[in-house]
Amino acid sequence: MPDMASTWLTAGASTFDVTGIQLEVGDTPTDFEHKTFNDELITCQRYLQILKHGGFSQGVVGTNQEAVRMGVSLITAMRTEPSVSVTGTINTYDGSDIRYYTAAIPYVNSNQAFDWDSDTTGASGSQMTAGRGCVAYSHSNSGGFIISAEL
């Protein structure tokens, strides 16, 4: 029978997994806090949200035939007013034409929502019809927004 103590330590890809441990400072222990997956997810989303994979805002086509001031509600309230950046390509559709944007100008309203205007730098696709409503959605599941309220 092999000596597991010495072979485990010398193996190339050894792992040691530990769960359910609570480390504390001081002499008085507190009860272990059990949180559901959803509670942990909401706590994490107060710091970072990534919006992509589908429709995430609606707005109107401006007189310049570009999407203007599209509103986005966040999944959960952020811990403070976040910063917003664009990733990939965002599609906008007005019912007949599609326009592609790789940049946007975000306007943060609060820790619960933001608006964005199209940035025509690098825009492509058909010009849309002024006055029509339009929706924004991710392009090939890669486009979207990264919303961060990190410390």
Q: Give the side-chain half-sphere CA count within 13 A for 78.
A: 24
Q: Flag whether pLDDT at 141 surpasses 70.
A: no
| Boundaries of every domain in the chain | 50-151
pLDDT tens-digit readout, 92-124:
889 888 888 888 888 888 888 888 888 887 788
The answer to whether 60 and 131 are in contact (CB under 8 A) is yes
pLDDT tens-digit readout, 70-92:
888 888 999 999 998 888 888 88
